[in-house]
């Protein structure tokens, strides 16, 4: 049997091709600034499912030989003595890791403007942001440097930039992919995620990095299904017959941009034409997700980032005594948003406020997770929603932190509930891509990807007709 078209396309994208594109798009004042470091000698292996295929990796995943800085001054030049499991698995599959991608500092942000090494530009409109925090990986795929890249997700950092850049981004089930070697932001929410130029390419990347790892106690001993095979039967007849797709009404508020809503309704109509039943459902606590996330994530971050003390990692500021050294290292090393999160997190965990904020947020998080479980138990196989409330905004346009946090309004819920979710392009508004989001029950990636592939196929067929 001949290989599918997407696989031929992936294999044809050689390392030399990656560098040709890189040289054309990356450098200069109008360059994308998508990469923080590169390895021009990377060739990959001659065998393996990704033999010789160039991939890019977000700079918060530990790599041997290339720095791991999390786009922070506090880790400038830091090289890890070990490699993240996800990166190791890509290399074992033969991939050439050509570089580390720019990001919001410590993955805190939704626009990539919080990088200590300058923002990333959106390849589709260089005056606009690529989304964040995995903006460099999204831009690397959207500009054609690579076709598969790794990112990380705590509250939407793969899906939102995928939506802003018009590509596919997957956040797997919490526990599906090892977090060993992923620099911790908020450990109960963090995931390694994958970007792809198509649904199948993202699925292949996920299949390779997924699976239990004895180095991560939170990685699940659950078999990894053949995700790419799940996609092979999507292009004929009514491939989604028998599937129920939930449309959570809270994700389609009256205030949603009508043009984004219209693309979502069109996608839902295509899913019906593919044989699925579309059903309105309710996730009533959705409006609490942003406040809950912005209590839990900073709380965990304030604890995780305590390790950057000038002693164990990276940069150390000169000072006469230990206290002053800590203070100078940390105040000089962290940018404004990271500092804001550490302060916020320390506050919500402090005596007297713990019950009022952190404990209540945990209780509501449980409620949000239960609502997802109930909807899936009622016979709904996957949910469909918009990925983000806007398209890519202009660099510098969103300066209020709270307004920036609202960019994650439709994505943080999946991280709070631990369920898999993904974004794929479903149309454009004024030339800028709109993302549609699918969410599935825990370890339901195969069904989610089957729906995504069928929708992608239907949309391509429509564009070509």
CB 381 → ligand GLN: shortest distance, Å?
Answer: 25
Smallest distance, ligand GLN to C-beta of residue 405, A: 7
Distance between start and end Cα atoms, the chain: 27
- Determine the interface stretch with ligand GLN among 152-160, 240-248, 263-271, 452-460 (rule: CB under 6 A): 152-160
| Active-site residue, selected from the candidate residues 110, 115, 133, 137 | 133
Q: Select from 52, 94, 109, 433 the one that contacts ligand GLN (CB under 6 A).
A: 109
Judged by CB under 6 A, the chain residues 291 through 330 that form the site for ligand GLN are 297
Q: How far is the CB of 415 from ligand GLN (least distance, A)?
A: 7
Q: What are the tokens at 293?
A: 């996330």
Cβ contacts of 286 within 8 Å, gap of 6 or more:
248, 250, 251, 368, 413
Beta pairing class for 421-429 and 432-439: antiparallel
User: CA 227, 252, 255 angle in degrees (round to 5)?
Assistant: 140
Phi and psi of 62, rounded to 5°? -65, 135
Residue found by looking up tokens 């918060």 in the block? 60
- Asked if 169 is part of the footprint of ligand GLN (rule: CB under 6 A), the reply reads no
Alpha-carbon span 446 to 423, nearest angstrom: 15
Q: Rounded CA gap, 140 and 122, in Å?
A: 10
Does residue 154 interact with ligand GLN by CB under 6 A?
yes
Among positions 99, 123, 135, 156, the unique one binding ligand GLN when judged by CB under 6 A: 156
148 three-class SS: strand
User: Rounded to the nearest whole angstrom, what is the least distance from the CB of residue 297 to ligand GLN in the complex?
Assistant: 5
Tell me whether residue 399 is one of the annotated catalytic residues: no
Determine, following the binding rule CB under 6 A, whether residue 131 of this chain makes contact with ligand GLN.
no
**Contacts of 12 by beta carbon, 8 Å cutoff, 6+ apart:** none
Q: Is 157 in the site for ligand GLN (CB under 6 A)?
A: yes
Pick the piece of the chain touching ligand GLN (CB under 6 A) from 9-17, 47-55, 107-115, 197-205. Answer: 107-115
Shortest approach of ligand GLN to residue 104 CB, angstroms?
Answer: 7
| Closest C-alpha to 380, from 289, 320, 456, 448 | 448
- Is 100 annotated as catalytic? no
Q: In 10 A of CB 311, how many CB atoms?
A: 11
- Tell me whether residue 152 or residue 387 sits nearer to ligand GLN (CB atom): 152
Yes or no: say if 20 and 97 are a contact pair by the CB < 8 Å rule.
no
Stretch that binds ligand GLN, among 17-25, 87-95, 104-112, 348-356 (CB under 6 A): 104-112
Question: Which one of residues 110, 115, 391, 423 is an interface residue with ligand GLN (CB under 6 A)?
Answer: 110
Number of CB atoms found within 10 A of residue 431's CB: 8
Q: Which is nearer to ligand GLN, 15 or 162 (CB)?
A: 162
Residue whose beta carbon is closest to ligand GLN: 157
Among 44, 94, 99, 155, binds ligand GLN (CB under 6 A): 155
- Rule CB under 6 A: which of 175-204 touch ligand GLN? 185
Question: CB-wise, 276 or 342, nearer to ligand GLN?
Answer: 342
- For residue 196, the cross-strand partners are 148, 168
Residue 440: how many CB atoms within 10 A of its CB? 24
Active site residue 423: no
Number of shown-chain residues binding ligand GLN (CB under 6 A): 14
Q: If DSSP codes are grouped into helix, strand and coil, which group holds residue 37?
A: strand
User: Which range of residues in 30-38, 153-161, 234-242, 247-255 is near ligand GLN by CB under 6 A?
Assistant: 153-161
**Minimal CA–CA distance to 426: which of 452, 400, 405?**
452
Which one among 59, 83, 408, 456 touches ligand GLN, defined by CB under 6 A?
408
Residue span binding ligand GLN (CB under 6 A) among the ranges 15-23, 154-162, 233-241, 446-454: 154-162
Q: Catalytic pick from 157, 178, 219, 302?
A: 157
Residue 105 found at the interface with ligand GLN (CB under 6 A) = no
Phi, psi torsion values for 339, nearest 5 degrees: -60, -45
Where are the alpha helices (H) located in 62-150, listed in sequence order? 85-92, 135-142
Tokens 């009404």 identify what position?
249
DSSP state of 255: T
Of the pair 137, 154, the CB lying nearest ligand GLN is at 154
Among 59, 113, 153, 213, binds ligand GLN (CB under 6 A): 153
Out of 32, 36, 98, 108, the only residue in the binding site for ligand GLN (CB under 6 A) is 108
Q: Which two tokens stand for residue 302?
A: 């304030």
Torsion (CA) 128, 134, 139, 141 in degrees, nearest 10:
-150
Tokens of 23: 């040289």
Please pick, from the candidates 107, 199, 392, 438, the single residue that binds ligand GLN as defined by CB under 6 A. Answer: 107
Binding residues for ligand GLN, per CB under 6 A?
107-110, 133, 152-157, 185, 297, 408
Active site residues: 58, 133, 157
């Amino acid at each position: 049997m001949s290989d599918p078209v997407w696989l031929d396309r992936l294999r044809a994208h050689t390392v030399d091709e990656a560098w040709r594109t890189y040289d054309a798009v990356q450098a200069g004042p109008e360059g994308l600034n998508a990469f923080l470091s590169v390895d021009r000698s990377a060739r990959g292996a001659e065998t393996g499912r990704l033999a010789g295929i160039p991939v890019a990796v977000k700079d918060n995943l530990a790599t041997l030989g290339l720095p791991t800085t999390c786009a922070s001054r506090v880790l400038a030049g830091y090289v890890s003595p070990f490699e993240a499991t996800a990166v190791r698995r890509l290399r074992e599959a033969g991939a050439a890791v050509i570089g580390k991608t720019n990001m919001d500092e410590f993955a805190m942000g939704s626009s990539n403007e919080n990088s200590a090494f300058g923002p990333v530009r959106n390849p589709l409109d260089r005056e606009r942001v690529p989304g964040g925090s995995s903006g460099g990986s999204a831009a690397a795929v959207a500009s054609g440097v690579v076709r598969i890249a790794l990112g990380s997700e705590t509250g939407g950092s793969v899906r939102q930039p995928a939506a802003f850049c018009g590509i596919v981004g997957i956040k797997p089930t919490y526990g599906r992919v090892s977090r060993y070697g992923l620099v911790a932001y908020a450990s109960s929410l963090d995931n390694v995620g994958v970007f792809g130029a198509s649904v199948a390419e993202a699925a292949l990347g996920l299949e390779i990095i997924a699976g239990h790892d004895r180095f991560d106690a939170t990685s699940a001993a659950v078999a990894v299904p053949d995700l790419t095979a799940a996609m092979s039967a999507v292009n004929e007849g009514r491939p989604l017959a028998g599937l129920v797709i939930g449309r959570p009404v809270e994700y389609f508020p009256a205030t949603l941009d009508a043009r984004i809503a219209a693309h979502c309704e069109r996608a839902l109509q295509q899913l019906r034409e593919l044989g699925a039943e579309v059903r309105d459902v309710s996730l009533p606590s959705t409006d609490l997700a942003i406040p809950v996330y912005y209590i839990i994530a900073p709380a965990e971050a304030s604890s995780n980032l305590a390790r950057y003390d000038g002693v164990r990692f990276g940069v150390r500021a000169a000072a006469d005594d230990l206290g002053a050294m800590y203070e100078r290292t940390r105040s000089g090393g962290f940018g404004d948003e990271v500092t804001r999160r550490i302060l916020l997190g320390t506050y919500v965990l402090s005596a007297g406020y713990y019950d009022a904020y952190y404990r209540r947020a945990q209780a509501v998080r449980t409620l949000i997770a239960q609502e997802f479980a109930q909807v899936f138990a009622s016979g709904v196989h996957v949910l469909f929603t918009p990925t983000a409330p806007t398209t890519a905004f202009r660099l510098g346009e969103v300066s209020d932190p709270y307004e920036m946090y609202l960019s994650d309004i439709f994505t943080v819920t999946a991280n709070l509930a631990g369920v898999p979710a993904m974004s794929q392009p479903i149309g454009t508004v004024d030339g800028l891509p709109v993302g549609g989001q699918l969410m599935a029950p825990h370890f339901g990636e195969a069904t989610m990807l089957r729906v995504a592939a069928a929708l992608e196929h239907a949309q391509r067929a429509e564009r070509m007709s």
